[in-house]
Amino acid sequence: MAAATVLLAAILVLSLSYCCAASAATTVTAAAESDRIDRLPGQPPVNFSMYSGYVTVDAAAGRALFYWLMEASGVPADSAPLVLWLNGGPGCSSVGYGAMEELGAFRVNPDGETLSLNPYAWNKVANVLFLDSPAGVGYSYTNTTNDLYSAGDNKTAHDSYAFLINWLERFPQYKYRDFYIAGESYAGHYVPQLSQVVYRSNKGIENPTLNFKGFMVGNAVIDDYHDYKGTFEYWWTHGLISDETYVKLWEACKYDVSEHPSKECQKISEVAEAEQGNIDLYSIYTPTCNKTSLHKRRQIRGRMPWLPRGYDPCTELYFTNYYNLPEVQEAFHANVTGIPYAWIGCSDPIYEYWKDSPGSMLPIYRELISAGLGIWVFSGDTDSVVPLTASRYSIDALSLPTITKWYPWYYDEEVGGWCQVYEGLTLVTVRGAGHEVPLHRPRQALKLFEHFLRDVPMPKPVESVQSY
């Protein structure tokens, strides 16, 4: 009898401990609660929680970064991984492009005032955290004017790390959760650099609060030499420039740093731009935005049936209008001082005055591959700004052994792209997608993201099933 009483008492203690731990894991701090988004203007109903606000990264300089968290909707939010998404530029808004044009839960409608749901949002399988970085991008701000003219790779990486550490104090339920970093374009610098800071900060810690598992980048700036080589080759092989310009581009630019090209490189680049004409270089086969030619866009879509039916080249105009609405800023807890300035997707001063920009991320790749982290690189094959050829040359420079040779991967019984698995890195292409893969191929992008989180290669024909 006494033994049974002791056993029951032990079970009760364990049960209470479990309940208390579960409660603690899901408790929202007062600071986080003040960041909760009750409902955005024009928003349809959703079954997940959202938070947004500011996290100070440098109190002395008055530097604070703005975030938007979309908790998971298709899987339990309290156990789903946390994924940080970064857009590039440098100087472009993740809250703008990533959240409202690509992988977020909403799309801004053409009226610029209401939202519709994105059925292929990445928060179906993860908690997604969008960050505007560095300070001066989107709603992020600084009280030190010089910060706008002294931003660079190193400061951005360390500010983003400071953000994560401070953000976790506001959202302690995400401590020790599987954590990934993803992004595109110039985030090809941001993502591996921040990954390196996290990895090095975690070294020697048995159970780090940032339980970092790996990173993924898309149409990413990786290595200037190979990026130039692959980009110029793409332009030439796709008929966008002349033979003469192709030769001169390589001669003038091959040893330049992408963020600080020489005058000779700039001059011949202007010639190349003139030869390319008025096309969308980020998606060379889709129409450009012309608000007065909706009928023309419909005609073009009729000749190109592979274009997504929901594709609209003017989405940037819609979300720019939306983010400038006072009621939207209030709902986001943004621009709390009420300073009258226009929200813009990309900051010209930050881009034009960008400081340090190393010519290659390959040394970081080698370090993190050796550490056993999961690394995926994906590429839309109709982007001419950071094209697939550039990514392939950069990855080839790593000289990694091949685990699985090049093969077509499938989605809904159609080729979604191609895949090659290396020792420590997976390369995935997305057929028919431009620079912003989730914008042009949303279904395939979600499939890609799901496989990245599981670290499972893309499906071959016999494995092909439509998940969403």
Question: Would you list the domain boundaries of the chain?
Answer: 30-221+357-463
Residue holding tokens 């290595």? 223
383 is catalytic: yes
Looking at residue 176, the DSSP 8-state letter turns out to be: T
What's the rounded Cα separation, in Å, for the pair 19 and 13? 10
Among 229, 234, 278, 216, smallest CA distance to 258 is for: 229
Give me the pLDDT at residue 462, please.
66
From the list 52, 140, 185, 384, the catalytic residue is 185
What's the rounded Cα separation, in Å, for the pair 433 and 12? 56
58 is catalytic: no
Q: Which residues pair with 63 in a beta bridge?
A: 58, 142
pLDDT tens-digit series, residues 344-358: 999 999 999 999 999
Among 410, 403, 407, smallest CA distance to 418 is for: 407
Angle CA(153)–CA(183)–CA(282) in degrees, nearest 5?
100
Is residue 12 classed as helix, strand or coil in its secondary structure?
helix
What region, left, alpha or beta, does residue 162 occupy, with left being phi > 0 and alpha being psi -120 to 50 degrees?
A: alpha
- Cβ 138 vs Cβ 116: under 8 Å: no
Q: How many CA atoms lie within 13 A of 123 on its CB side?
A: 28
Alpha-carbon torsion (459, 461, 465, 468), positive or negative: positive
pLDDT along the chain (468 residues), means of 10: 42 37 61 97 98 98 98 97 98 98 97 98 99 97 94 98 98 98 98 99 95 98 95 97 96 75 90 95 92 36 35 89 97 87 93 94 99 98 97 98 98 96 99 97 98 96 55
Domain 30-221+357-463 CATH superfamily: Alpha/Beta hydrolase fold, catalytic domain (3.40.50.1820)
Helix axes 224-237, 243-253, angle to 10 degrees: 180
347 is catalytic: no
Give me the pLDDT at residue 311, please.
63
What's the rounded Cα separation, in Å, for the pair 353 and 113? 33
Number of neighbouring beta carbons within 10 Å of residue 200? 12
Residue holding tokens 């982007």? 383
The length of the chain is 468
Which residue blocks in 294-353 are alpha helix, DSSP H? 294-303, 315-323, 326-331, 348-352
- Cβ 379 vs Cβ 219: under 8 Å: yes
- Cβ 223 vs Cβ 231: under 8 Å: no
From the list 160, 258, 283, 435, the catalytic residue is 435
Is residue 426 classed as helix, strand or coil in its secondary structure?
strand
What's the rounded Cα separation, in Å, for the pair 443 and 134? 30
Give me the pLDDT at residue 256, please.
65
From the list 224, 227, 312, 383, the catalytic residue is 383
Task: Please give the model's pTM, rounded to 2 decimal places.
Answer: 0.89
Residue holding tokens 């928060």? 123
Give me the pLDDT at residue 338, please.
77
